[in-house]
Structure 1
Amino acid sequence: MSTPNALKIVVMGTGPFAVPSFEAIRKSGDSIVAVVTKPEPPVKSRKGPPPAPVRTWAEENGLPIFDPMIINDDEAVRKLVELAPDLLVVCDYGQILKPQALGVARLGGINLHGSLLPAYRGAAPVQRALLSGDPETGVCVIHMTPRLDGGPVIAKTATAITPDETAGELEERLSELGVELVIQSIDQLRQWDGEQTIGEIQDPELATKAPRLNKREAQIDWTWPRAKIDCHVRGMQPWPIAYSEIEVRSGKPAQRIAVLAVSNVEDADIEDGSNGLVPGQVTGGKDLVVCCGDGLLRIDSLRPAGKNQMSGEQWMRGHQLQRGVAFELPTFE
């Protein structure tokens, strides 16, 4: 397959979000001259390091890999200069390119980002949109600048967030939506004169941040309304996973439970309902039902620390918690 004005492209990425778009570039008439990805971590077990999707994809397709520790250091930039790319295509890479690195390609770089910019600039746009309870999100391709996710938007598309989607499922769907946008953007740049701004300038007044998730913020606050807890549970998957802790036996250490799925329960469906309960307390009975800020929530699926996934009903059969036993609420120093 040949393409008029075929480009020499360096792709930069590490995680799964990048793979569908990189594969589309590989199948196009353009040439991938290098795959830049994170270096492999030291081996700490017999299993070896966890798989890096972009590295795996590059190895399977016999593409040259370049994995500098710091993409902006002089040696790495010299390597990029030697490759003489026309364009950099960046997605889910993990490092911010400085002007010297961006400048090695005559057309600069484009980045596929998992939000409707300028909303959710940062490392966790998909998760933050879900955690915020947004009804929709999308993907954008930007012409890169040294400012994080701040370049002009060349192409974008929006999509509704479905009520039962986890962040992992949404991210996978967005990665597929981004493929056509990346190819369209490359074709626009193929004809670019390098003079006029390409794309729509972002309004900095509308910018919001999407910092990387951390384990501490995964703890559930049962004083939240049910809708927020549901978004929290879905938004924390596949990592770091929403959790709560509960003392199942008096005087014993609290047991940590990863919460994987929840659903609303009406007071009329539970004997005594939420009457007299405060957030975090369970109703007792066969199901694991917890009082929240605005009603009752059933934990449908969970994973106790060190054990396999199970239903809330299965977990209750093994513990038979009495009404009023409480999950711990987060404490902040």
Structure 2
Amino acid sequence: MKITIVGSRYFGSAALEALLKDGAEIAAVVVPTADDRLKSAAEAKGIPVTVQVDPKVVPAGEIPDGTDLIVTAHSHARVMPDAIAKAKLGGIGYHPSLLPRHRGIAAVEWTVKEGDPIAGGSIYHLADRMDAGAVAMQDWCFVKKGETARELWERALAPMGLDLIVRVARHAREHGSLPAKPQDEQFATKAPKIKE
């Protein structure tokens, strides 16, 4: 099973390492900029890299033929429907919240701002609406009193995300399919960027 990773920075390169360690075959990596950490990590391992023409969008032409699964890891780009359709099993992403709660770019910040006692992470199917696809797998953790968003991310949500990505990719490899449970829209909340 061939995976194409669409991602960036620390989390993208950590996801690459975690998937390789679990025996996944990485077809290619798609990054937003030429100086990205994930690009360097992939090139060091001889994995083909595509730098997005538009950092906000991933069209079908940037996903290599023969991709079975697209995995997004710290990507703020919209993977277009024709790109998702190009992969046999479609695409999945990690979102650092218990979806449908805190959909948006600042999920961890809103978890702290709202005083949620419990946080979590979700692997969801890439879909037309941002963070709204069916959930493949979730996990949760407690939030420490006084913990900042960055502390919560580093302590619990980033490691949880890597673990969930590996578990869902392994499930796809072993079963040729992905779990999918629709999100309950009545519990959806938004997590837009917080103005300083």
- Please tell me the TM-score bracket, short chain as reference: 0.7 to 0.9
Q: Does the alignment pair 1:102 with 2:102?
A: no
Instruction: Say if 2:98 and 2:120, in contact at 8 Å, map to a contact too.
Output: yes
Match of 1:36 in 2: 30
Letter in 1 for 2:169: I
Q: Does the alignment pair 1:24 with 2:3?
A: no
Structure-1 separation of matches of 2:175 and 2:127: 17
Alignment map for 1:80-91 (pairs within 5 Å): 80=63, 82-91=64-73
Aligned length: 194
Change (3 A) 1:192 1:150: farther
Cα root mean square deviation, aligned = 2.2
Can you list the C-alpha shifts for 1:17-44, whole angstroms capped at 9, x where unaligned?
333322111222221111111024xxxx
Question: Percent identity over the alignment?
Answer: 32
Alignment map for 1:176-187 (pairs within 5 Å): 176-187=159-170
Can you list the C-alpha shifts for 1:51-78, whole angstroms capped at 9, x where unaligned?
63323432443432111123757xx523
Change (3 A) 1:17 1:188: same
Question: Aligned match of 1:199 in 150, 162, 180?
Answer: 180
Letter in 2 for 1:160: F
Question: Aligned match of 1:69 in 53, 73, 94?
Answer: 53
Rg (Cα) greater in structure? 1
Structure-1 separation of matches of 2:192 and 2:12: 19
Higher helix proportion: 2
TM-score in terms of structure 1 length = 0.54
Letter in 2 for 1:109: G
Instruction: Say if 2:124 and 2:136, in contact at 8 Å, map to a contact too.
Output: yes
Instruction: Say if 1:150 and 1:202, in contact at 8 Å, map to a contact too.
Output: yes
Change (3 A) 1:131 1:18: farther
Question: Aligned match of 1:137 in 98, 116, 119?
Answer: 119
Instruction: Say if 2:52 and 2:62, in contact at 8 Å, map to a contact too.
Output: no
Can you list the C-alpha shifts for 1:151-174, whole angstroms capped at 9, x where unaligned?
111111111111242222221231
Instruction: Say if 1:17 and 1:172, in contact at 8 Å, map to a contact too.
Output: no
TM-score in terms of structure 2 length = 0.88
Q: Does the alignment pair 1:124 with 2:106?
A: yes
Letter in 2 for 1:158: W
Question: Residue 35 of structure 1: SS of its match in structure 2?
Answer: strand
5+ long unaligned stretches in structure 1 = 1-6, 41-50, 219-333
Structure-1 separation of matches of 2:22 and 2:164: 14
- The CA deviation at 1:192 is 4.7
Match of 1:54 in 2: 38
5+ long unaligned stretches in structure 2 = none
Q: Does the alignment pair 1:92 with 2:65?
A: no
- The CA deviation at 1:181 is 1.4
Instruction: Say if 2:29 and 2:42, in contact at 8 Å, map to a contact too.
Output: yes
- The CA deviation at 1:105 is 0.3
Runs of 4+ displaced beyond 6 Å: none
Question: Residue 103 of structure 1: SS of its match in structure 2?
Answer: helix
Compare relative contact order (CA 8 Å, sep 6+) and give the higher one, 1 or 2: 2
- The CA deviation at 1:135 is 1.3
Match of 2:158 in 1: 175
Decide which moves more: 165-174 or 28-37: 165-174
Instruction: Say if 1:90 and 1:112, in contact at 8 Å, map to a contact too.
Output: yes
Can you list the C-alpha shifts for 1:182-228, whole angstroms capped at 9, x where unaligned?
1221122235566xx83211011111111123xxx32xxxxxxxxxx
Structure-1 separation of matches of 2:110 and 2:65: 36
Letter in 2 for 1:53: R
Letter in 1 for 2:76: G
Question: Residue 106 of structure 1: SS of its match in structure 2?
Answer: coil
Structure-1 separation of matches of 2:85 and 2:57: 11
Instruction: Say if 2:94 and 2:123, in contact at 8 Å, map to a contact too.
Output: yes
- The CA deviation at 1:79 is 4.1
Can you list the C-alpha shifts for 1:309-332, whole angstroms capped at 9, x where unaligned?
xxxxxxxxxxxxxxxxxxxxxxxx
